[in-house]
Amino acid sequence: MAGFDLSGLTASFGGERVIGPLTLTVKEGDQVALVGKSGAGKSTLIRLIHKRVDRESSLVPQELGLVNALPVFHNVFMGQLDKHATWYNTVTLIRPFKQDRKQISELLDALRMSEKLWIPTASLSGGQRQRVAIARALYRNAPVLLADEPISALDGPMAHHVMKLLKDRFKTSVIALHDVDMAMKYCNRIVGIQDGQVALDEPTERLTAADIMSLY
């Protein structure tokens, strides 16, 4: 599976509906930017999609979900925990296998932080932590990327570098983004969320930045 067809997506908090009911179809090759103002429901929608497609997705949650006490290597390795037997994962905690060290080193190299491989994640900056979560999603290598503001802590050049990497590595993706220019540059479809509903859904080439800004 590299696409999905989800209908009847709803979410409520404190008895108040914040999402839906909405339908979202994503085909293989769709690189979707979820846009809209804070509180529109983008993060909730990412979580709902992840619940439905779970094992088929590589997730970069907004809160990152890293284990501070573990080195960068082990946080990235968690992207494939469910693909190995328990004994394998236990051995990896103590003495990682060469093939895993090589793969994870290459990913960190691509994210320009290869020197951080054995550094405790707690000691990293916000932007570095974000890149560890991105490396974990890349290492999982699932058919679909789901990412919630994956470049919010990165400076301009690094944000572009990461978005290009994600675009190249994942044929199909849904990425919540605040930055309209980034959304238009790196995604081929824009889905605008407003008050928990889809207010816009168009191929990027048919839109201007002004069309998207009306959602904010």
Fold of 4-213: Rossmann fold (3.40.50)
Query: What is the distance between the alpha carbons of residues 34 and 27, in angstroms, rounded to a whole number?
Result: 15
Q: CA-to-CA distance for 173 and 34, rounded, in angstroms?
A: 10
- pLDDT tens-place string over residues 72-110: 999 999 999 999 999 999 999 999 999 999 999 999 999
pLDDT band at 27 (very low <50, low <70, confident <90, very high): very high
Average pLDDT over residues 8-13: 84
Kindly state the percentage of the chain with pLDDT values over 90: 79
- pLDDT tens-place string over residues 129-154: 999 999 999 999 999 999 999 999 99
Which residue, 70, 76, 78, 77, is CA-closest to 121?
70
The domains of the chain are located at 4-213
Output the pLDDT for position 1. 58
Q: What is the pTM of this model?
A: 0.93
- According to DSSP, the β-strands at 16-26 and 57-60 are unpaired
DSSP codes joined into one string, 114-125: GGGTTSBGGGS-
Q: Which tens digits make up the pLDDT trace of 160-169?
A: 999 999 999 9
| Torsion angle in degrees (nearest 10) through CA of 189, 133, 162, 35 | 30
